[in-house]
Structure 1
Amino acid sequence: MPQTTFKRDALPANVKPIHYELTIEPEMVEVETFEGSVVIHLDVLNATSSIVLNMRELMISDTKVISEQKEVKIKGLEIDATRELVAVFLEDELAASSKVELRMSFEGSLLHHSDGFYRSRYQGEDGTPKWMVSTSMEPIDARKVFPCFDEPALKATFAIKLVVDPFLDCLSNMPEVSSETVTSKGKTVKISTFGTTPPMSTYIVSCAIGEFNTIETNNFHAPIRVIAPRDHNIEHGRFCLELAARTLSFFEKMFDIAYPLPKMDLIAIPSAQTAMENWGLVTFNPTFLLVDELESSATAVHQAAGMLVHELAHQWLGNLVTMEFWDGLWLNEGFADWAQMYALDTLHPEWKIWEEYAVNGYQYALTLDSNRASHPVEGPILKATDVNQIFDGISYCKGSAILRMISTFLGIDKFLEGVRHYLKQHTYGNTRTDDLWASLSYVSGQDIGRIMEIWTKNPGYPVLSITEDILTNSIHVEQHRFIKDGHVTDEDDKVVYPIPLGLLTSNGVDDRMLQDRSAEIPVSLDLYKLNSRHMGFYLVAYPSSRLKILGQNVRDGLLTPEDKIGIMRDVMAISGSGLLNAKTTDVLQLLQQFHDETEYFVWKQISEIMKGIKSILVFENLKALERFEVQLFSSILVKKGWILHKSDSDFDRMLKPLVFAHSKETASVKKAAGEMFTAFMDGDEQAIDVNILEAVLTTVLRDGGSKEYDAILHAARTNSSLEKRNIFLGSLGAARDPSLIERTLALATSPEVVKLNNTTRVLNKLAEHSGGIISLWKWLRQNFDLLHAHLSSNGYGLLSIIELCTDRLVTEEHLTEVKDFFNNKDTSNYDKLLAQVLNTIETNNTWITRERENIRKWLAEGDI
């Protein structure tokens, strides 16, 4: 066999796929395998005697190459398993500009984790277990289902056939155009043939096979269906079904491009991780699709809506126009995140989406990007396995944040004009970031690339330090890079960012751009605040005297919820770094100014800050800090209480449980939690409203024993509500008894949990208390080889487990242990994450060493 050396992951550019004829026949029950064949129609771009494409974990049983209706003799095949490539070497050279068919027959295994072609279990009508199969290809798992040219830019059309048992339902990207029953290999099978797709990337090819229930709406020009296995309550899909119709109509108008496929299917997959935007067949974990406005929690409904709208945005931003390679992932994910927020803000203005974004996605991105080991929004992808590491808050949330920043700078109408130009220029094609900047520049007449490439090509962001001059009524503004460990070198600080100042005064908002390292700005010192509504991706460090005034502005009601949220977040981040001698007690003092606050998202921000401080001090005595927490939430507890009513708004249905959870040290809350729990376990299903269920369970489990644990575990297995089962399961880690911690760890890798991708759900609460954190770290070390073997092909799963089990460690000893443990391991698939974890542990240890005594003293002086 001829030998070759592959020098790079990118495929050779000698041929280009035009069309795939793909047939797949799964054996879903007995042997858990599938067979398939593919005919790939190729254009030969350059004369070549080899064809190289992607393949992983497949067995090739037959290969043919047809040119000019004649078979070309094959010298041999070479498989490079490391680079996930297969090369077909030919006796004769293929001529440039000729057309060729590559025909391959193959076999593969149906997987138990949610990537590639995988199985999910559900119950039949008689209670017996049944299996369905579905695909999840992004980013590089199409090659695990069929040999293909598995790069985003190598778009082609697809004609798909599925060969299955006659009683099974079949779905794919396009509608079924024919179905026939035939005899094959001595048994009767059904062949479902689907229409040919538009040109698209391999990662959004999709199919699903099983026994399904369906509901449909005609409130859109193409039929929209919600589909689920028959043991799921399909009527709970009505909310998402109708929202999908409204959303697709909204995006058609927003982008001025019709949805190009003849149907839209939304399917619940029991083992799916979250959701995937496959064109015309979007897959969801049932949690994000089957929600009911009357029975589900307000949080679940909002989360499902966000997930749905995000995936539907991808039908244009990602599917119709696709990044050229994975280093442009943010063009898909950051753009879809922004479009999700913009659409929901229009469709549901009462949800206050941008306030939610200020607390969640925006701040998540700021936290990640303050890590010394952060990465640029668009950075080089040198090997295929690097791709999994950039599916993170930088690509998604920082990406959406900088789009929000430029949309505010240009004005939303001009920005959307540029987006339409971008999509129409590149329909069915691929793009780089420069293409987006070019379209925005074209419609605005400004050099947008010059402004924005600084934000996309560099990691990190700035902090603006403010000095006030009373004599001249001005402020001195100076920017430097912000890194959460507080150690910023000249090398770190080379970049000067173009910063939209968003200067709020009593006269309105001044949107001037800071282009230099520093500037003097005339301003009335009576009232001013930078980064109004927190549209810009940066922090502001005010002098301590200004923080007191801003606290008064909060009490006087002069600031928007976004501004209140942003001030708290900025002070917390800056105090954590030790920048400008800021102290964590500055944060605690600021929080005390919010006792009259009633806005949910402001209290959510206060909650996040308190959880953040407690997580860093988790190995300290927290009694005084917990008393402060109770005092902090006491005013809103009195105003709102915790009893939920049918007439409550969505925000009260979220606020009351939040306040309840932060008041768990009070006798009245403990008593109420115990009473609700007892009544619920005695059979009163209405005793605990689903909105407050998690808060009640974690309160009970904190000091509970085996009796409470066993009752909750039983409910996690038997309750009729999927959301409640998930809440019961996710609460178990709150138990602090060492024997119960061990039971939770054992449960996390049990078949009943793994098959539904619930491992991290079970482990999450363990990371909220000291015994759980230490046990997680011990468990990871003891089980790492097993976890690595099971999850190595599932990049998301392994990365999330490593992060969960390590990033709450805070001592120098922990830092040394983590370094030593991973020192002799091949960390190439998670090296970026590991560097971030190590920086987080080191930063938190520095924070504790610097702040421990100051916090203790402040709490003592306040008689707390």
Structure 2
Amino acid sequence: MPGENLSRDEAHERAALLSVDGYEVALDLRSAVGESTEAVRTFRSVTTIRFRRTGEGDTTFADLVAPSVTSVTLNGRELDPAVVFDGARITLDGLADENVLVVDAQCAYSRTGEGLHRFVDPEDGEVYLYTQYEPADARRVYANFEQPDLKAPYRFEVTAPDAWTVWSNGAGERGADGVWRFAETAPISTYITCVVAGPYHYVTDTYRRGDVEIPLGAMCRKGLAKHFDADDVFLVTKQGFDFFHDNFDYPYPFGKYDQAFVPEYNLGAMENPGMVTFTEEYIYRGKVTRAAYERRANTILHEMAHMWFGDLVTMVWWDDLWLKESFADFMGSFSLAEATRFTDSWVTFANNRKAWAYRADQLPSTHPVTADIRDLEDAKLNFDGITYAKGASVLKQLVAYAGRDAFLEGARRYFKRHAYG
């Protein structure tokens, strides 16, 4: 049995067999609060996937990592979860040309940063939730086809405690029945879908330029609100949008732009379209150096660059993780130097980012910039200084060689030609 791993060959075969028309995901998160006597605290996840068979064959599998599955229905036919679900995959036999899969499961809250992470604030006892999926942890929250090339639109709805607010990739609101419903997304990959829920402190602003208007939001847990300098976050965000709109000639494609600074985060940030998540270490509790503000600004712009390169256009498989991250790493410094107060960002890049790459290159774990990613386990090992900073150094050389105008024109043409692909 493959367990929770997924190979490149399996992903290629599945992409050749089917295409996904859309997801409807309903989560009930009310179990996140209150006492629990369960060894593993769980929430209900009901997923409806509409997909078509586009290749030869009538058997495939969906991905789900969950403690239990209540029911599985394929095209109105009840499947026995004890037979088709092995803890990580749901076997699907007898596919039709058009298919509807409904999976009702009990999924587990995370305490390790993968899937739906649940944090209890030790200061006031408030509970905060957020998701983190890269490279393949959306399957810990809802059933799906967990590979980046099977893009689809999503509709999320979330039932949450009354005192909470919920955010996702699209704009949302709470209905009269108490359920939060979110606008359907553009076609995106599973790993960049997102849900953030809890009594977060939330600040809003708006980016306006010509006919473009983007609602902005920034949030943190209530206990950090007194330290949260949202004005500077919004300043850098607006400067970034100015830069990317000027140079990419493709308006930001995902509606709103929320940025959540969340606790116990395993990484610096994640480029979920419309709902970017950051480590709350970027909320400074006291006086810090200019370098600290520059680092935060670089991360904000790195994630914003992904809205185009990574989210609008996406790698087929994790072999090209390096190009997605190298592009954003390069663009973080490039946009900082040209659009913000941090005009010496290329000096910082040389001193910090390239030094990170040099260190990684001297270790036994060094690898080519373009790595051979055979499966998800390989992908998890590839988030390093070579994938990010050495690759960004290569792109910096390319820009110096080919010229800034040619490089940006190449990006502009690529976005238009491959949008949502």
- Give me the TM-score of the superposition, normalised by structure 2: 0.90
Residue of structure 2 in register with 1:312 after alignment: 304
Cα shift at 1:372? 5.2
> Distance in 1 between the 2:340 and 2:23 partners?
41
Residue of structure 2 in register with 1:99 after alignment: 98
Residue of structure 1 in register with 2:91 after alignment: 87
Residue of structure 1 in register with 2:249 after alignment: 256
User: Where does structure 1 lack aligned partners over 5 or more consecutive residues?
Assistant: 1-5, 182-189, 430-864
Which letter maps to 2:401? F
Which letter maps to 2:197? I
Cα shift at 1:44? 1.2
Residue of structure 2 in register with 1:347 after alignment: 339
Cα shift at 1:275? 1.2
Give 2:191's match in structure 1, choosing from 197, 203, 208: 203
Residue of structure 2 in register with 1:240 after alignment: 233
Give 2:26's match in structure 1, choosing from 2, 23, 29: 23
Cα shift at 1:58? 4.0
Give 2:127's match in structure 1, choosing from 131, 151, 161: 131
| 1:165 and 2:168 matched | no
Cα shift at 1:350? 4.9
Which letter maps to 1:152? P
- Runs of 4+ in structure 1 displaced over 6 angstroms? none
In terms of Rg, which structure is larger?
Answer: 1
| 1:329 and 2:321 matched | yes
> Paired residues, what number?
400
Which letter maps to 2:92? V
Q: Deviations over 1:550-588 (max 9, x none)?
A: xxxxxxxxxxxxxxxxxxxxxxxxxxxxxxxxxxxxxxx
Q: Deviations over 1:689-710 (max 9, x none)?
A: xxxxxxxxxxxxxxxxxxxxxx
> Distance in 1 between the 2:173 and 2:153 partners?
16
- The residue correspondences of 1:173-252 to structure 2 (distance < 5 A) are 173-181=169-177, 190-220=178-208, 221-233=213-225, 235-252=228-245
- The residue correspondences of 1:713-752 to structure 2 (distance < 5 A) are none
| 1:142 and 2:138 matched | yes
> Distance in 2 between the 1:240 and 1:402 partners?
29
| 1:385 and 2:385 matched | no
- The residue correspondences of 1:414-493 to structure 2 (distance < 5 A) are 414-429=406-421
Cα shift at 1:196? 0.1
Which letter maps to 1:121? V
Q: Deviations over 1:274-323 (max 9, x none)?
A: 211111001111122x349x943323211111111111111111111111
Q: Deviations over 1:313-360 (max 9, x none)?
A: 111111111111001001211110001010001023654111111111
Residue of structure 1 in register with 2:63 after alignment: 54
Q: Deviations over 1:344-393 (max 9, x none)?
A: 01023654111111111112213322445421222222221111100111
Cα shift at 1:178? 4.7
Cα shift at 1:257? 0.5
Could you say which structure has the greater relative contact order, defined with CA pairs below 8 angstroms and 6 or more residues apart? 2
Give 2:264's match in structure 1, choosing from 266, 271, 292: 271
User: Where does structure 2 lack aligned partners over 5 or more consecutive residues?
Assistant: 1-5
Residue of structure 2 in register with 1:285 after alignment: 279
> Distance in 1 between the 2:117 and 2:341 partners?
39
Higher strand share: 2
- Report the CA distance shift for 1:426/1:369 in structure 2 as closer, same or farther (over 3 A): same
- The residue correspondences of 1:362-761 to structure 2 (distance < 5 A) are 362-371=354-363, 373-429=365-421
Which letter maps to 1:87? T
Which letter maps to 1:131? V
- Report the CA distance shift for 1:75/1:268 in structure 2 as closer, same or farther (over 3 A): closer
SS of 1:360's partner is helix
Higher helix share: 1
Residue of structure 1 in register with 2:117 after alignment: 118
8 A Cα contact 1:121 1:270, kept in partner? no
8 A Cα contact 1:277 1:312, kept in partner? yes
> Distance in 2 between the 1:259 and 1:350 partners?
23
Cα shift at 1:47? 5.1
Which letter maps to 2:310? G
Cα shift at 1:249? 2.2
Q: Percent identity?
A: 27
> Distance in 2 between the 1:23 and 1:312 partners?
28
- Report the CA distance shift for 1:58/1:180 in structure 2 as closer, same or farther (over 3 A): farther
Give 2:46's match in structure 1, choosing from 20, 30, 37: 37
Cα shift at 1:73? 5.7
- Report the CA distance shift for 1:43/1:281 in structure 2 as closer, same or farther (over 3 A): same
8 A Cα contact 2:72 2:78, kept in partner? no
> Distance in 2 between the 1:250 and 1:324 partners?
27
SS of 1:272's partner is coil
- Give me the TM-score of the superposition, normalised by structure 1: 0.45
Residue of structure 1 in register with 2:3 after alignment: none
SS of 1:160's partner is strand
> Distance in 2 between the 1:316 and 1:291 partners?
29
Cα shift at 1:108? 1.3
